């Protein structure tokens, strides 16, 4: 083995990663270009909206409820160290709408939706259903990718908004019932310290995360390998890529939105 | 007429097609035979534009398939896939009428459904099948639905990819007879790829044998048994000894 072998191996990994990033960027550009050009498939869009939006509500809602409650407990315990227990309502609200609502919502949707899209499209690929679409004069990008990406981009901000509300409610339940806050005071504090941009920034993040989730599901599904193992690998890659990209883009968006 | 001239296709270092020359006259049923992994499906996918050849030219009635207007070109084709390739999320009738529910051939929903039921009847399936989902059908029924979908828009050219794979001999015979009847009745040009010799004898007007990336032999079905081509003889008699390596 030559001394340069580890360097060559590292180079191959880096080149492979760059090539994948390039392919994903081209796939995203193609998706966006098809978004604006007919034919459109409204039925597929509505089905995707139901699958991604409506059916993700329970998992996002429960995640937000427990996160809001835990956040209230943590802030109360931490705040007690410097006699700042009263900040619980405002910090829970700001933390949920700016950060935890969109990020945890995005991650839960990534786990549920990116995997499901990648498995569905991957299975369609290995059973030649994608080829069948082409022979039936239907562009798979327009029929499969565009409706899912558009639906996720529109549905996830709504899920985030619902998740934010449930998360704040979770904090309220714990604050009032467990930590002894006055209900009216808790609500007033939540309202007074929450600004429009806190909520709006979280919704924009949700839209970006929805786009990423569906794009990764479609990309890895369309590029799935053969057989059950190929579909399994595509599903795993879609969830991992979507999760990492959500966390990375969350940092970038936070820098863009809040670094003054 | 479909013409392939010097068609090459490689996947990495695997040179699958190494200069295929073949003519499929209009209205004729051409069957491509050859062992597993010899590039029969790749050849078919090259004609449809699902795979792009590295070199060579494929024309349909003189028009290059690579430069033809895609929608109009594909509207002339129907295809039965090996595994049926039915869309799991759609009921049978929407699978059959897929092309009639969208795009340039779009018809009103009720008319598309009527055509789908008619095509299902043509392939021997009852109208009740129309509202089932593909997962509720047997393998033979899925093939029939795939066949109904292939003929739904009355295409000029129909491709059949291993139409009898995975079926019992009786069902295979039924599918072979259906293909023969439908192709004759529609006057369509047909291209079938298979390694099932009973399909070859039931479906073919002409036969071509693909081996080592080239057409080793082609001729009318009547000459298949009499040919002295060693590749064809080994293949049709299923012998382990001969110019085709048994282990590939």
On average, the pLDDT of chain B sits at: 90
Q: Which residue of B has its CA nearest to A47?
A: B89
Residue B106 lies in a domain: no
At residue A23 the predicted structure's pLDDT band, cuts being 50, 70 and 90, is very high
B212 vs A183: CA distance, rounded Å: 80
Q: What is the mean pLDDT of residues A245-259?
A: 94
What's the pLDDT score for residue A217?
97
Contact A132 B99 (CB under 8 A): no
Residue B39 lies in a domain: yes
Residue B38 lies in a domain: yes
A136 interaction partners in chain B (CB closer than 8 Å): 74, 98-99, 149
At residue A95 the predicted structure's pLDDT band, cuts being 50, 70 and 90, is very high
What's the pLDDT score for residue B95?
96
Measure CB to CB from residue B102 to each of A39, A124, A132 and give the nearest one. A39
User: A260 pLDDT exceeds 60?
Assistant: yes
b/e per residue A137-159 (b: at least 16 CB within 10 A): bbbbbbbbbbbbbbbbbbbbbbb
On average, the pLDDT of chain A sits at: 94
Phi/psi for B215 (5° steps) reads -80, 110
Phi-psi region of B154 (alpha: psi -120 to 50; beta: other; left: phi over 0): left
Q: What is the mean pLDDT of residues A43-53?
A: 95
Residue B155 lies in a domain: no
Residue B136 lies in a domain: no
Helix (H) or strand (E) holding A150: helix A146-177
B14: containing domain:
1-74+189-248
Q: Which residue of A has its CA nearest to B100?
A: A136
Q: Which residue of A has its CA nearest to B72?
A: A137
B104 interaction partners in chain A (CB closer than 8 Å): 137
CATH at residue B32: 3.40.50.300
Measure CB to CB from residue A127 to each of B45, B85, B99 and give the nearest one. B85
Q: How many CB pairs under 8 A join A and B?
A: 49
Please write the tens of the pLDDT for every residue from A158-214. 999 999 999 999 999 999 999 999 999 999 999 998 999 999 999 999 999 999 999
Contact B83 A132 (CB under 8 A): no
Residue B171 lies in a domain: no
Contact B180, B152 (CB under 8 A): no
Which residues, in sequence order, are CB contacts of A72 under 8 Å at separation 6+? A88, A92, A170, A171, A172, A174, A175, A178, A179
User: A1 pLDDT exceeds 80?
Assistant: no
A137 interaction partners in chain B (CB closer than 8 Å): 70-71, 74-75, 99, 103-105
B85 interaction partners in chain A (CB closer than 8 Å): 127-129, 131-132
Residue B235 lies in a domain: yes
Q: What is the mean pLDDT of residues A33-62?
A: 94
What's the pLDDT score for residue B102?
85
Lowest mean pLDDT among A47-51, A186-190, A253-257, B99-103: B99-103
- Number of domains within chain B: 1
Please write the tens of the pLDDT for every residue from A147-165. 999 999 999 999 999 999 9
User: A138 pLDDT exceeds 60?
Assistant: yes
User: A89 pLDDT exceeds 60?
Assistant: yes
Which of the residues in chain B have pLDDT under 50? none
Query: How far is A156 from chain B, CA to nearest CA, in Å?
Result: 23
Phi/psi for B27 (5° steps) reads 75, 0
- Whole-Å CA distances, B40 to A33, A182, B57, B160: 35, 76, 17, 11
What's the pLDDT score for residue A13?
93
Question: Strand B55-60's sheet: what is its strand order?
Answer: B14-24, B2-11, B55-60, B63-64
What's the pLDDT score for residue B248?
54
Measure CB to CB from residue B48 to each of A47, A124, A135 and give the nearest one. A135
Residue B207 lies in a domain: yes
ipTM, interface predicted TM-score of the complex = 0.86
B151 interaction partners in chain A (CB closer than 8 Å): none
Please write the tens of the pLDDT for every residue from B28-60. 999 999 988 888 989 999 999 889 999 999 999
Look at residue B193 and give its three-state secondary structure: strand
């Amino acid at each position: 083995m030559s001394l340069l072998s580890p360097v060559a191996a590292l180079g191959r990994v880096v080149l492979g990663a760059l090539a994948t990033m390039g392919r994903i960027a081209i796939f995203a550009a193609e998706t966006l270009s098809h978004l604006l050009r007919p034919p459109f498939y409204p039925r597929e869009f509505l089905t995707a909206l139901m699958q991604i939006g409506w059916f993700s509500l329970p998992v996002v809602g429960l995640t937000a409820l427990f996160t809001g409650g835990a956040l209230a407990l943590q802030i109360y315990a931490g705040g007690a160290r410097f006699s700042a227990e009263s900040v619980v309502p405002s910090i829970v609200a700001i933390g949920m709408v700016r950060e935890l609502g969109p990020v945890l919502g995005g991650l839960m949707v990534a786990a549920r939706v990116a995997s499901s899209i990648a498995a569905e499209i991957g299975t369609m690929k290995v059973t030649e259903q994608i080829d069948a679409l082409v022979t039936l004069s239907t562009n798979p990008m327009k029929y499969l990718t565009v409706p899912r990406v558009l639906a996720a981009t529109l549905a996830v901000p709504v899920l985030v908004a619902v998740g934010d509300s449930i998360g704040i409610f979770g904090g309220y339940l714990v604050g009032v019932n467990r930590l002894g806050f006055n209900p009216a005071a808790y609500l007033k504090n939540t309202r007074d310290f929450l600004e429009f941009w806190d909520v709006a920034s979280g919704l924009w993040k949700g839209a970006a995360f929805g786009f990423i989730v569906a794009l990764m599901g479609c990309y890895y599904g369309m590029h799935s390998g053969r057989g059950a193992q190929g579909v399994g690998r595509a599903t795993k890659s879609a969830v991992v890529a979507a999760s990492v990209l959500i966390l990375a883009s969350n940092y970038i968006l936070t820098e863009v939105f809040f670094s003054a | 007429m479909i013409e392939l001239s010097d068609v090459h296709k490689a996947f990495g270092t695997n040179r699958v097609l190494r200069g295929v020359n073949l003519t499929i006259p209009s209205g004729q049923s051409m069957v491509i035979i050859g062992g597993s992994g010899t590039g029969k499906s790749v050849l078919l996918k090259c004609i449809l534009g699902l795979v792009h050849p590295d070199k060579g030219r494929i024309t349909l009635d003189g028009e290059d398939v690579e430069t033809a207007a895609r929608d109009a070109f594909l509207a002339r084709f129907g295809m039965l896939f090996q595994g049926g390739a039915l869309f799991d999320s759609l009921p049978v009738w929407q699978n059959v009428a897929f092309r009639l529910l969208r795009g340039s051939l779009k018809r009103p929903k009720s008319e598309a459904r009527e055509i789908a039921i008619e095509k299902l009847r043509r392939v021997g399936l009852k109208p009740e099948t129309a509202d089932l989902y593909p997962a509720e059908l047997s393998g033979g029924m899925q093939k029939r639905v795939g066949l109904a979908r292939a003929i739904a828009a009355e295409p000029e050219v129909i491709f059949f990819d291993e139409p009898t794979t995975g079926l019992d001999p009786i069902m295979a015979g039924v599918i072979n007879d259906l293909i023969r009847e439908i192709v004759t009745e529609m006057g369509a040009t047909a291209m079938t790829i298979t390694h099932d010799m009973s399909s070859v004898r039931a479906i073919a007007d002409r036969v071509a044998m693909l081996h080592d990336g080239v057409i080793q032999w082609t001729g009318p079905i009547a000459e298949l048994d009499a040919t002295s081509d060693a590749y064809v003889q080994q293949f049709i008699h299923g012998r382990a000894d001969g110019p085709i390596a048994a282990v590939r």
